[in-house]
Structure 1
Amino acid sequence: MKITAVRQWVAEFGYYNAHYVRIETDSGVVGESEVGMRRRSRTVAALIEELGEYLIGKDPTAIEQHSERLYRDSFLGGTLLTIGISALDNALWDLNGRDLGVPVHRLLGGKFRDTVPVYTHARATETPELFAQEIRDRLDKGFTAIKTTLPGFYTKVSSVHHDVPAAIPARLTETEALPNWVWPMIAEYFEAAREEAGPDVKFMLDCHGRLNVANALRLADTLEPFNLTFIEEPVPYERADWMREVASRSTTPIASGERWANHYGAAPFLEQRAVSVAQPDVAWCGGITAAKKISALAETQGISMAFHNPFGPLASAATWQLAATLPNFMISESMITPEQSVYWDRYTENPPEVRNGEWRVSDAPGLGTRLRIEEIEKHPPRYEYDRNGTR
């Protein structure tokens, strides 16, 4: 069996452009994948096209070899490169599963669990009272784990701008002074959320690297009474030493990793125990192959896995197939909102279903989800999403 073609479609997905890839073979077996990037979709498309040329004529079963060559032979690394590799890597795993008639989790060592817990999102909104309403809506939909963004810094954000102006300017750097009212205001939001949800619902907070070490520690102290599951990227993601200092002094677990480029990018954070929770993205870090290696490194340090996954059905399927096999898996992000669900059903057959905050592991061959190319072609990309966006 040899690879004969790598095809790609880019489609509008509500607030970003999704990239869909199909790898074809001379035996008729295909593999499909999905990646997304909230900006630079034309760059990602060109990268997938160039990297795909390498695969033509190759054996699709040599996944590890292709992962190594695509990364090393590109000379330069970084997450933009590994997004392109992820698209091809995940499609190869899907192809091999389909060829053998088994789910991808069988190829990865088999199920460690029958269900994969996932969390959803709630907007920080304009007031604590509105935030509590957002929490109630997610609870009524069956979720028991919810993440939000920093109150005051975010209210409603699209790919390229703040739909509602934030109290803290979007361009404020992590070293500029914050007003004194920030910390009690953030506490008010989580007090309202806890009152609405009770003590057992898991809350997580994403900071997008907006703080310096000193303010990240003030945030951790502020939130300690509310028993968060983790605080994500409190400081800029590039600095393992900054992250480690916060993690070592915070009683709330610190999470990071969505922007890691494969296991080499993850290693400094894991080896220094700069995080308690690792968050690689299977659609960004180099695919299932790289994410499995990151997970193994994390396991040796007693670090839990909580995959970043704000994208669509095939990206979710790849993430959760891997998550089902991992002893150190904690929880995965999901973006199954009413607005996003429209695209799941439009672009794929048999998209993953989450019920009561869990995905029941599928035994369908490959990733278990199939592209609807005729529908994808009806919804071209919107390149206004590629303008410089928000932090």
Structure 2
Amino acid sequence: MRVTGVRQWIADFGFYNAIYIRIETDEGVVGEAEVAMRRRTRSVSALIEELSEYLIGRDPTRIEQHAERMYRDSFLGGTLLTIGISAIDQALWDLNGRALGVPVHRLLGGKFRDRVPVYTHAKAGGSPEEMAAEIRDRVDRGFTAVKTTLPGFYEKVTSVRHDRPALIPARQTETELLPTWTFKVIAEYFAAAREAVGPDIHLMLDCHGRLNVANAIRLCEALAPYDLTFIEEPVPADRVDWMLEVSRRSTTPIAAGERWGNHFASAPFIGAHAVAVVQPDVGICGGITAARKIATCAEAHGLSIAFHNPFGPLQSAATWQLAATLPNLMISESMITPAQTQYWERYTEDPPRVENGEWVVTDTPGLGPRLRVEEIVKHPFKPELDRGGTR
């Protein structure tokens, strides 16, 4: 079997642009995948096109070899490159599962679990009462774990784009002066949320790297009474030493990993125990191949995996196929909201289903969902969705 072509389509996903690809072979077997990169869609699309030139004529069963060569032969790394690799890698796993008539989790060693726990999102809102109501709504929909963004910094969150900073200027850097009431007000939001949902619901906070080390420590101290499951990226994710200092001073577990380019990028953070919760993204780090290596490295250090995954149906399927095989899985992110679900149904046949905060592992060959290309082409790329943003 040889690869004969790689096709791609860019589709409007409501709040961002999604890239869908299909790898074709001379035996008629195909593999499909999905990635997204906010604000850099066209750059990733060009990378996928260039990487596809390497793949034409090659044996699609040599997944590890292709992952290695696409990364090494590019010389320069970084997440733009690994997102392009992620698209092809996920599609290769899908293709091989379809060729053998087995789900991808069988290729990865089989199920460790029959259900994958997932969490969803709630916007911070403009007041503690608003955030509490949002989180209560998600719990009423069956979720037992909910993540929100940093109150005061983001009032409204729509998928991967952040709109209308509420109290803190959008372009404020992590070293600038914060209002004296910042941490007191953030604590009030989480006090209201905890009171609204009780002690058994998992609450998580994503800071998007908005604080410096000193202020991140103050945040962790202010939120300690509310038993958060983790605080994500309290400081910019580039520095191991910054993340390590916050982790050592916080009683709440610190999480990071969505911005790691591959297993090489994750190793310094994991080896130093700079985070307690490791968050690779199958669509960013280099695909299933690289994410599995990150998970294994984390397991060797006694660290949990909580996949970053605020994207669509095919990437969610890839994430959860891998998650089902991992002994050190904590939970996976999902963007299962009424606004998002319409795109899942529009662009794929048999998208993943989440009930009561869990994805029940299926045995459909490959990743599971199938692209509905006839619908994808009706909703093309929107340049305006790649503009602007606050971090």
Fold shared, TM-score > 0.5 on shorter chain = yes
Which residue of the partner structure matches residue 301 of structure 1? 301
Supply the distance in 1 between the matched residues of 2:255 and 2:126 (Cα, whole angstroms). Answer: 25
Q: CA deviation at 1:160?
A: 9.2
Which residue of the partner structure matches residue 289 of structure 2? 289
* Matched-pair identity in %: 73
Any conservation in 1 of the 2:17–2:381 contact (CA below 8 Å)? yes
Any conservation in 1 of the 2:163–2:389 contact (CA below 8 Å)? no
CA-to-partner distance for each residue in 1:219-244, whole Å, 9 max, x for gaps?
Answer: 00001000000000000000011000
* 2:46 is the counterpart of 1:56: no
Supply the distance in 2 between the matched residues of 1:325 and 1:159 (Cα, whole angstroms). Answer: 27
CA-to-partner distance for each residue in 1:244-296, whole Å, 9 max, x for gaps?
Answer: 01111110000000000010010110011100000010001000000000001
Which residue of the partner structure matches residue 192 of structure 2? 192
Q: 1:267 to 1:163 in 2, by over 3 A?
A: closer
CA-to-partner distance for each residue in 1:133-159, whole Å, 9 max, x for gaps?
Answer: 101110111000000000000011458
Which residue of the partner structure matches residue 363 of structure 1? 363
Supply the distance in 2 between the matched residues of 1:161 and 1:335 (Cα, whole angstroms). Answer: 13
Supply the distance in 2 between the matched residues of 1:162 and 1:233 (Cα, whole angstroms). Answer: 16
Supply the distance in 1 between the matched residues of 2:170 and 2:278 (Cα, whole angstroms). Answer: 26
AA matched with 2:6: V
Any conservation in 2 of the 1:277–1:305 contact (CA below 8 Å)? yes
AA matched with 2:267: A
Where do 1:18-167 residues align within 5 Å? Answer: 18-158=18-158, 163-167=163-167
Q: 1:115 to 1:160 in 2, by over 3 A?
A: closer
Q: 1:183 to 1:306 in 2, by over 3 A?
A: same
Which residue of the partner structure matches residue 211 of structure 2? 211
Which residue of the partner structure matches residue 2 of structure 1? 2
What SS is found at the alignment partner of 2:19?
A: strand
The number of aligned residues is 391
Supply the distance in 2 between the matched residues of 1:330 and 1:144 (Cα, whole angstroms). Answer: 13
Supply the distance in 2 between the matched residues of 1:56 and 1:296 (Cα, whole angstroms). Answer: 31
Supply the distance in 2 between the matched residues of 1:257 and 1:333 (Cα, whole angstroms). Answer: 13
Supply the distance in 2 between the matched residues of 1:156 and 1:360 (Cα, whole angstroms). Answer: 31
* 2:329 is the counterpart of 1:316: no
Supply the distance in 2 between the matched residues of 1:345 and 1:104 (Cα, whole angstroms). Answer: 21
Supply the distance in 2 between the matched residues of 1:203 and 1:353 (Cα, whole angstroms). Answer: 22
Q: 1:80 to 1:161 in 2, by over 3 A?
A: closer
Q: CA deviation at 1:38?
A: 1.3
Supply the distance in 1 between the matched residues of 2:319 and 2:308 (Cα, whole angstroms). Answer: 9
Supply the distance in 2 between the matched residues of 1:161 and 1:260 (Cα, whole angstroms). Answer: 19
Q: 1:309 to 1:162 in 2, by over 3 A?
A: closer
Any conservation in 1 of the 2:159–2:310 contact (CA below 8 Å)? no
Any conservation in 1 of the 2:4–2:56 contact (CA below 8 Å)? yes
Any conservation in 2 of the 1:160–1:388 contact (CA below 8 Å)? no
Q: CA deviation at 1:388?
A: 3.3
Supply the distance in 2 between the matched residues of 1:74 and 1:117 (Cα, whole angstroms). Answer: 36
Q: Which runs of 5+ in 2 are unaligned?
A: none
Q: Which runs of 5+ in 1 are unaligned?
A: none
Q: Considering only aligned residues, what root-mean-square deviation do their CA atoms show, in Å?
A: 1.0
Which residue of the partner structure matches residue 386 of structure 2? 386
Supply the distance in 2 between the matched residues of 1:324 and 1:78 (Cα, whole angstroms). Answer: 27
Any conservation in 2 of the 1:257–1:266 contact (CA below 8 Å)? yes
| TM-score normalised by L of structure 2 | 0.99
Q: 1:233 to 1:23 in 2, by over 3 A?
A: same
